[in-house]
Structure 1
Amino acid sequence: MNGPEIHVEFAPGLRLFVPHGRRAGATPVVTDGSSTLGHVVESLGVPLTEVGELVVDGGTVAVSHIPAAGESVEVRAVARPQQVPGAPLRFLLDVHLGTLARRLRLLGVDAAYESTDIGDPALATRSAAERRVLLSRDRGLLRRRELWAGAFVYSTRPEEQLRDVLGRFAPALKPWTRCTACNGPLRQASKEEVADRLEGGTSRSYDVFAQCVECGRAYWRGAHHEQLEVIVERAVAEFGPR
């Protein structure tokens, strides 16, 4: 049975989630009379992780609001920078975002990463257990109820993904302090301490090293350091402390 008809308008940044016919202006939506507004928005394709204020006839309502006939609903995008209350800002990335994970770690951002596909339930459960913001391009994953917090990664290009996450969450940047392989903290190390992890040419050419306190991986300013330095400099210039 058809229920109340409402009119829903999505913020421009959210229109990519909805069918083409609903993207421009306010469009009529028939509800069942019992589902919450949050459920209605998700049924139209928009993960609630991407939704900011829900405005009904000019007033802000909760996602638990039950729509009534004739209401006009404005679905706004999440405000930036987004505040994540209740825990230190930490991330969890799914299997498809390995490059983004390494770049976040390069900047000293706590970014856990699953290098194998452990399944949506396990990812969502880990997000809740460790109170991490789950980053993903999987809309279905971001709709799981056990998720603690999440965010859709809008681009497929790592450089744009990094700017998106840094601009949305404004994490504190502490470059060169995390292991890009395992996310552990780095400490300064002498050549002697990491000698068993170095090849002969590296040992002869470099004197300054760091080592991950968790996995033991050694770091030095090798051939790729200049490329990494560019990533760091650009991020700090745009998103570092003002």
Structure 2
Amino acid sequence: MNGPEIQIDFAPELRLFVPTKRRDGRSTVVTDGVSTLGHVVESLGVPLTEAGRLLADGREVPVSHIPVAGEFIEVRAVERPQRVPGAPLRFLLDVHLGTLARRLRLLGVDAAYENEDIGDPALAALSARERRVLLSRDRGLLHRRELWAGAYVYSHRTEDQLRDVLGRFAPELAPWSRCTACNAPLREADKESVGDRLEHGTRTAYDVFAECGSCERVYWRGAHHASLEAIVDDAVREFGHVNAAAHRPE
């Protein structure tokens, strides 16, 4: 680019996306005089999914704003909780976020998950077709134009990823109401109806069951229930409340 010079400053939360030389306060950027501010922001490495309010000399401007010489641009982080247009709030997770998908489902959050790498174009198209917020640690994927909505997952640790998503989007929680394997809703089940899918010891030791209406997986309060309950209790305590109609599977 060879045109007007602007000053730009990214919020601290966004500086991991930009080159090292631009991470300490405002820096000078030479624009071409015709590109939008959104294009400039993305050209510096920041996905627009992560950019909040854009300010030019203190006034809020849209991503379509054309920067002019001497402007001071501030790129704020997304405000939390972030409101996504349309309802209900649903997510799509890429191939690297399977554990996070299961944690969200445990909390009753609609979280579709691709357990095979179907490619960035297909993921972005699926997000648009089903109006799902795409969660990913792939910065390039979040730059795709066909994406309906998206969010960068900032941590490698599942516990931090879960807190990040819940804090950012504030989804309604309904623990124990969704199949962690396929994302479909669970329904109550009696022992007689699911008995042929249970080991003898399970049939003897447990009386309360739920089953998936899609993949027919059976759930009960088994050996792992305490650790899962701790995850649920922590999330509910910080981010929501328990749905009174929720199931309590393994």
Matches within 5 A, 1:88-103: 88-103=88-103
State the one-letter code of the partner of 2:40: V
Match for residue 53 of structure 1? 53
State the one-letter code of the partner of 2:57: D
Unaligned runs of 5+ in 2: 243-250
Matches within 5 A, 1:72-87: 72-87=72-87
State the one-letter code of the partner of 2:91: F
After superposition, the Cα gap between the structure-2 partners of 1:241 and 1:188, relative to the gap in structure 1 and judged at 3 Å, is closer
**Number of residue pairs aligned between Structure 1 and Structure 2:** 242
Match for residue 110 of structure 1? 110
Structure 2: how far apart are the matches of 1:42 and 1:71?
A: 18
Matches within 5 A, 1:125-164: 125-164=125-164
State the one-letter code of the partner of 1:199: E
Deviation at 1:81, TM superposition (A): 0.1
Deviation at 1:76, TM superposition (A): 0.2
Structure 1: how far apart are the matches of 2:194 and 2:160?
A: 35
Deviation at 1:86, TM superposition (A): 1.7
State the one-letter code of the partner of 1:229: E
Structure 1: how far apart are the matches of 2:51 and 2:227?
A: 36
Structure 1: how far apart are the matches of 2:165 and 2:102?
A: 13
Unaligned runs of 5+ in 1: none
State the one-letter code of the partner of 2:98: G
Structure 2: how far apart are the matches of 1:46 and 1:165?
A: 19
State the one-letter code of the partner of 2:173: L
Tell whether 2:63 aligns with 1:68: no
Deviation at 1:102, TM superposition (A): 0.2
Structure 2: how far apart are the matches of 1:144 and 1:215?
A: 32
Match for residue 239 of structure 1? 239
State the one-letter code of the partner of 1:119: G
Structure 1: how far apart are the matches of 2:15 and 2:32?
A: 23
Match for residue 199 of structure 1? 199
Match for residue 121 of structure 2? 121
Deviations 1:69-89 (A, max 9, x none): 111000000000000012210
Greater displacement, 51-60 / 1-10: 1-10
Matches within 5 A, 1:19-58: 19-58=19-58
TM-score w.r.t. the length of structure 1 is 0.98
State the one-letter code of the partner of 2:136: S
State the one-letter code of the partner of 2:12: P
Match for residue 248 of structure 2? none
Deviations 1:170-223 (A, max 9, x none): 001100000000000000001111112111111111110000001100000011
Structure 2: how far apart are the matches of 1:102 and 1:144?
A: 26
3-state DSSP of counterpart to 1:96: coil
Deviation at 1:2, TM superposition (A): 1.1
Tell whether 2:218 aligns with 1:218: yes
Deviation at 1:107, TM superposition (A): 0.2
Considering only aligned residues, what root-mean-square deviation do their CA atoms show, in Å?
1.0
Structure 2: how far apart are the matches of 1:223 and 1:160?
A: 25
Deviation at 1:241, TM superposition (A): 4.3
3-state DSSP of counterpart to 2:204: helix
Matches within 5 A, 1:1-20: 2-20=2-20
